[in-house]
Amino acid sequence: MEIDLTPQLAKKIYGCDGGSYYSWSPKELPMLREGNIGAAKLALEKNGFALPRYSDSAKVAYVLQGNGVAGIILPESEEKVIAIKKGDAIALPFGVVTWWFNKEATDLVVLFLGDTSKAHKSGEFTDFFLTGANGIFTGFSTEFVGRAWDMDEASVKSLVKSQTGTGIVKLKDGVKMPEPKKEHRNGMALNCEEAPLDVDVKNGGRVVVLNTKNLPLVGEVGLGADLVRLDGSAMCSPGFSCDSALQVTYIVRGSGRAEVVGVDGKKVLETRVKAGNLFIVPRFFVVSKIGDPEGMEWFSIISTPNPVFTHLAGSIGVWKSLSPEVIQAAFNVDADLVKNFSSKRASDAIFFPPSK
């Protein structure tokens, strides 16, 4: 597989004084098209309002920064208005209509990762706006809209033409927006920074896995996800997704090194990664990461709602399951070296603290 896996930063697509929308292009990150994956980021400043829209792709949204409010309307359902904050993951199936609002001084930043296999453009999200200068109803004749909404021509023109913003607008101070309801969060969002840990290794790292058990709606999206927090100078075990899933990784915080090895033991990526980078690991390729002294945190989606991984080191690695005779024959080494090899990492799971 000769394809460029180099991590990339998002580029601004549009924006105003209310905020901006960024996206990763499959031209610069070819694995997006190859894997039918889309990636984008919404950043809203104070009073920034992302106009109601729906997308051609199912997604998982992850709040990278700030606090805000999201409106979510599942097909043939009532609007749910939820408070969102840093660490929240939200599953957004096909057909969902959303809007986003930030009333705080700190920017609200939301990452979107999703499946573009049914999208208009492979590797890219296409949003369809309900209002604004590029809203759906600007393309219909006044007659059609009037009959659909049972309104006179003057009222229709006022509704369709008054909002001149595109995608994102800045609302005036004091504009009243719906208040979030606590009960609306149930089943809609999971805070990955507060959820029970699936893996916790002292001085190594921690993992929270997003799946159909803790957020059933990801089953409709068809994606799983995880938040990984790697401690300073610690290592994440070499491993691969054993159910043919792609791993799409966004570096949330910190920096470090990453290596990916593919077919015939060929190293296909050896690079440094930093906050804001996105990179994709192809199916069955093995990836490992080592954090810098300040540590590293990343959010990933996996192209299956209940991912399964095989690790090639540590106490749950495949080597612990193989018999010593097989290991000796496979490596073509003596029994003493196999014994030494098998005794290592006996108590570590998938994270390895720095050597003392």
- pLDDT of amino acid 315: 67
Per residue in 250-270, pLDDT (tens digit) is 999 999 999 999 999 999 999
Q: Which residue ranges form the domains of the chain, and what is each CATH number?
A: 8-132+167-185 (2.60.120.10), 192-352 (2.60.120.10)
Please provide the DSSP assignment of 14-79 as one string: EEETTEEEEE--TTTSTHHHHTTEEEEEEEE-TTEEEEEEEESSEEEEEEEE-EEEEEEE-TTS--
Per residue in 86-96, pLDDT (tens digit) is 999 999 999 99
| SS3 per-residue string spanning 181-229 | CHHHHCCCEEECCCCCCCEEECCCEEEEEECCCCCCCHHHHCCEEEEEE
- Residue 11: exposure state from Cβ atoms within 10 A (0-12, 13-18, ≥19): exposed
Q: Look at residue 43 and tell me whether its pLDDT is greater than 90.
A: yes
Higher-pLDDT residue of 64 and 342 is 64
Rounded to 5°, angle at Cα 288 from 212 and 43: 60
Pair of tokens at residue 355: 């050597």
What is the identity of the amino acid at 314?
G
- pLDDT of amino acid 30: 93
Residues 6+ apart with CB under 8 A from 53: 97, 98, 99, 127, 128, 129, 130, 167
State the pTM of this model.
Answer: 0.92
- pLDDT of amino acid 196: 95
Burial 334-351 (b: 16+ CB within 10 A, else e): eeeebeeeeeebeebbbb
Per residue in 177-236, pLDDT (tens digit) is 999 999 999 999 999 999 999 989 888 999 999 989 999 998 899 988 999 999 999 999
- Mean local confidence (pLDDT), 271-298: 95
Q: Which helix (H) or strand (E) holds 273?
A: strand 267-274
- Mean local confidence (pLDDT), 113-137: 96
- Under the banding of pLDDT at 50, 70 and 90, the label for residue 244 is low
